[in-house]
Amino acid sequence: MQDTERHDPRFADLDAWDTPAVLAAVWEGQLRAVAALGPALVELGRAVEGALPRLRDGGTLFYAGAGTSGRVAAQDASELKPTFDWPTERVTVLMAGGEGALLHTAEGAEDREDWARDAVADAGIGPRDVLIGLAASGTTPFTRAAVRAARERGALTVGIACSSGAPLLHEAEIGVLLATGPEAIAGSTRMKAGTAQKVALNLFSTALMVRLGRVYRGHMVDMAARNAKLERRAERMLIELTGAAPAAVRAALAKAGGKVKLAVLILDGHDPGEARALLDRHGGHLRAARCG
């Protein structure tokens, strides 16, 4: 039996406890979920380093999952564009049961290995790409099939599971174990396991974007100012990063088309063309562009 399916006798009388005790039990589980990331940092680091050259070469980041794992993956994927301006065409979620399963249960979809293989083929996954497969138990047929198919096509594959000995961890090139143990409600992996997977993806995608040059001095400098709130955030960023006056900041943002990195270099004295060339020369890394 997988670790995530086991019953924890400590919670045998959970349904007889009062509300504060139930909340305390679930809260304790959430703390354990986050703690489970500590031993996984080395493998997560390997995943980031393995993904970097592929994504620098124009590859796409794929996620594959079913049920809670797929929904957690979709949340991480959807946040890459607004936070880091990662191109939407270069991130894709292979969800068992399709997009409809993000909101509604798709019974039996997680067992369809053929759907996973077809999804990988239809997406044209290849050697420049990265696929993250998530399954709390590490046994989900859809996710495992997607990982195997992507690996056969030369993609970097990362398997994230919450059960020791899970086959997914061995079928992927890099296996990341999040040892969360049994849930307070046996088998309800939206709890500890779901939290641990979400935190793992937060760490992975954030570190990846930092290493790709989309963060500078703790700011999301690849963010494009597309609405009033983001315009105000961009202005605050530029004032902090350059010390320029608000009027100069607004003028630079206008010249840069709302792009913060370009605006920083414009405020440093470069014209827009020079600023773009500098960023291109340094692979989009603003720190290197300002020094070079």
What amino acid positions are annotated as catalytic residues?
Answer: 79, 110
Q: Which of 161, 145, 163 is nearest to 153 (CA)?
A: 145
What distance in Å separates the CA atoms of residue 22 and residue 15, rounded to the nearest whole number? 8
- Cα–Cα distances in angstroms (integers) from residue 242 to residues 142, 231, 266, 267, in the given order: 49, 16, 10, 7
**What single-letter amino acid sits at 105?**
T
| DSSP class per residue in 130-185 | EEEEE-SSS--HHHHHHHHHHHHTT-EEEEEESSTT-HHHHHSSEEEE----S-SS
What distance in Å separates the CA atoms of residue 276 and residue 270, rounded to the nearest whole number? 9
**What single-letter amino acid sits at 124?**
G
Q: ∠74-103-112 over CA atoms, to 5°?
A: 75
